[in-house]
Amino acid sequence: MKPQVVALLLLALVCLQPAAGEKLVSCCLDTSDKCFPRQIVVSYYHQEAGKGCQHSATVFMSKAGKRLCAPAAHKSKCVQELVAFLDKRNKSKKQ
């Protein structure tokens, strides 16, 4: 291969790599309106639109390690109740 082609390929590889300190985010692209059973959920976190993701969501983690995407907590009573349950359960485990 010609040196110019090799240099161009190396430059392309460097440009496509995420910058140091840049975090790759796994985002929920859609949410489910169904209520998830308490027995299968172990934790949660909030996904905020504009911080690397397009949609706001509450992401529950299942015992099997799967991400369960639900609407943002302020949009769903079911999500609010599950978040409160997990907060209470985790608080009692820490004591």
Distance between alpha carbon 51 and the CA centroid of its chain, in Å?
Answer: 11
Q: Where are the beta strands (DSSP E) in the chain?
A: 41-47, 57-62, 67-70
| 56-64 own/partner pairs: CB under 8 Å, 24+ apart | 57/28, 57/31, 58/83, 59/28, 60/36, 62/36, 64/40
Q: What is the pLDDT of residues 9-42, one digit of tens each?
A: 555 555 555 544 455 568 999 999 889 999 999 9
Is-above-0.85 flag for pTM?
A: no
Q: Which CATH fold topology does 27-94 show?
A: OB fold (Dihydrolipoamide Acetyltransferase, E2P) (2.40.50)
Checking if the pLDDT of 92 tops 60, the result is: yes
60: how many CB neighbours lie within 10 A of its CB?
Answer: 22
Q: Which residue has the higher pLDDT, 6 or 78?
A: 78
Q: Please report which confidence band the pLDDT of residue 68 belongs to, taking 50, 70 and 90 as the band edges.
A: very high
Q: What does the pLDDT read at residue 20?
A: 46
Confidence at residue 12, expressed as pLDDT on a 0 to 100 scale:
56
